[in-house]
Amino acid sequence: MIIKTKDLTRVYTTDEIETTALDHISIEINDGEFVAIMGPSGCGKSTLLSILGMLDRPSSGDYIFNGTDVSRFSEKQRSQARKGSIGFIFQSFNLIEELSVFDNVELPLLYQKIGTSERRERVEKALERMNIMHRKNHFPQQLSGGQQQRVAIARAIVSEPSLILADEPTGNLDSANGEEVMKLLSELNADGTTIVMVTHSPYDANYAHRIINLFDGQLVTESVKKEFHV
């Protein structure tokens, strides 16, 4: 089991107003699963994803990642644990504008201190897989939305993570490009990568094995769409 949470709670405090973004969430996600998180705007989907990605810490509750309790990890430990094992894909692509396509994809490997030749090899492999190799020297602004998202996916998979977290990966794309992104994610999942994806689109959610529904920070239902065998 790659992810297991117990009573995960996240409270935001701003100007003395407390918002409970996550309210005692307990979920389990197995290795190789493809899970979609759904729910109305503001129900806590992104918050959950950022805690699962160890970008944020829960206010209370436990989070066991790959058998280790990471919920009390320090900033440094989280950064260490995240590196190389989790890839992120965002709705707004979030490529660094000052860096070329190649450099953007290379970035996670730089932080893992991987040698030059191996980096080049892996970046090119990821770009080829995403079918965007011919644009490797372009800058993000010069690409279409679909192309940018493919670069972002290439960047997410270049360090060969076991888990990919995607927050509305198709939110900014037209249906054709969106479909392509979903296909790529399914392929990655078929190759063994666990995927947790936030989405508003029931159509996209169909690609997942299982759907987790949140409402107002609470877990409402879990529905299994497809058979998944461990």
By the criterion CB under 6 A, which residues form the site for ligand ATP? 12, 14, 19, 21, 41-47
Residues in the chain: 230
- Which of 22, 25, 43, 95 contacts other proteins by CB under 8 A? 95
Spatial distance between the Cα atoms of 51 and 119, rounded to a whole number of angstroms: 28
Spatial distance between the Cα atoms of 201 and 39, rounded to a whole number of angstroms: 10
Q: Does 142 bind other proteins (CB under 8 A)?
A: no
Spatial distance between the Cα atoms of 46 and 60, rounded to a whole number of angstroms: 17
Q: Does 167 bind other proteins (CB under 8 A)?
A: yes
Smallest gap from Cβ 179 to other proteins, in A, equals 21
Spatial distance between the Cα atoms of 154 and 92, rounded to a whole number of angstroms: 15
What contacts 51, CB < 8 A, 6 or more positions away? 8, 10, 22, 57, 58, 63
Stretch that binds other proteins, among 45-53, 64-72, 136-144, 206-214 (CB under 8 A): 45-53
- Which of 56, 103, 124, 216 contacts other proteins by CB under 8 A? 56
Residues paired with 48 in a beta bridge: none
Smallest gap from Cβ 145 to ligand ATP, in A, equals 18
Q: Does 199 bind Mg ion (CB under 5 A)?
A: no
Stretch that binds other proteins, among 59-67, 88-96, 141-149, 222-230 (CB under 8 A): 88-96
Using CB under 5 A, list all residues that contact Mg ion.
46
